[in-house]
């Protein structure tokens, strides 16, 4: 636009610079016509000031919009994974840390059993015995299911256990005369194909109570 203004000014100067006043002198009307012709001729090569900056701004806005669109498309994902890749909240069973006291401490033939959780066809309970026949305390987390279930567990005490065609197995257990805690990981499969997996721990000799039980189970 600066070039156009300069061109018009130059041609207008020609109109007023002719001192002869002859009939052939370029008047203002001719100047406008000549300027218009020159502008049309030069138009393809003319550019607006800061056009490059404007283009960059447009590109930035486009990139920002694209980034927002991508973020919106990924809003229901966690670390790029769809929500279906994670367990639903209703399938996570984590009862509070359970402190259990033996109702008949010192009686080796009586223990206290409490319910911990239910996951699909499987139930979890905890058992606590204060002072068994050997004077030791016992605590255990057990998984129970319908007949024909297959249950396997890897425990810090008792090693691996595999129980095909069973109804119950110990997921975690401990027997000790002092303070001790043991844990285990388990997988339980019912005959109808439902699967529950998780981990458990059992502790004895804690100041909080005779036995402390904890459980996390994932399943229907």
Report the pLDDT averaged over residues 160-165. Answer: 84
Rounded to the nearest integer, the mean pLDDT of the chain is: 80
- 121 shares its domain with 42: no
Tokens of 206: 């804690």
pLDDT digits (tens, 9 = 90+) for 112-143: 999 999 999 999 999 999 999 999 999 999 99
Band (16; pLDDT cuts 50, 70, 90): very low
pTM: 0.62
- 120 shares its domain with 204: yes
Question: What is the C-alpha radius of gyration for the chain, rounded to an integer number of angstroms?
Answer: 43
Nearest alpha carbon to residue 141 among 159, 107, 117? 117
pLDDT digits (tens, 9 = 90+) for 37-90: 766 666 666 555 555 655 665 666 666 666 666 666 666 677 677 766 677 888
- 66 shares its domain with 122: no
Q: What is the pLDDT of residue 19?
A: 47
CB 156 within 8 A of CB 170: no
pLDDT at 7 over 70: no
- 96 shares its domain with 166: yes
Last residue of a domain, one of 78, 99, 122: 78
Domain that holds residue 34: 2-78
- 201 shares its domain with 107: yes
């Amino acid at each position: 636009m600066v070039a156009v203004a300069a061109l018009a000014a130059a041609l207008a100067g020609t109109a007023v610079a002719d001192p002869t006043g002859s009939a052939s002198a370029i008047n203002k009307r001719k100047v406008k016509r000549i300027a218009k012709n020159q502008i049309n001729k030069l138009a393809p090569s003319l550019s607006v000031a800061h056009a490059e900056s404007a283009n960059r701004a447009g590109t930035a806005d486009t990139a920002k919009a694209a980034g927002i669109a991508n973020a919106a498309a990924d809003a229901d994902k966690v670390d790029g994974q769809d929500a279906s890749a994670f367990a639903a909240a209703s399938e996570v069973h984590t009862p509070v840390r359970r402190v259990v006291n033996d109702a008949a401490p010192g009686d080796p033939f009586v223990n206290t059993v409490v319910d911990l959780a239910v996951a699909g066809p499987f139930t979890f309970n905890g058992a606590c015995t204060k002072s068994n026949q050997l004077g030791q305390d016992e605590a255990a987390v057990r998984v129970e299911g319908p007949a024909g279930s297959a249950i396997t567990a890897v425990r810090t005490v008792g090693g691996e256990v595999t129980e095909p065609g069973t109804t119950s197995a110990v997921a975690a257990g401990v027997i000790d005369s002092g303070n001790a805690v043991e844990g285990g990981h388990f997988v339980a499969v019912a005959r109808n194909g439902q699967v529950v997996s998780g981990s458990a721990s059992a502790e004895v000799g804690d100041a909080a109570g005779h036995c402390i039980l904890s459980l996390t189970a994932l399943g229907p």
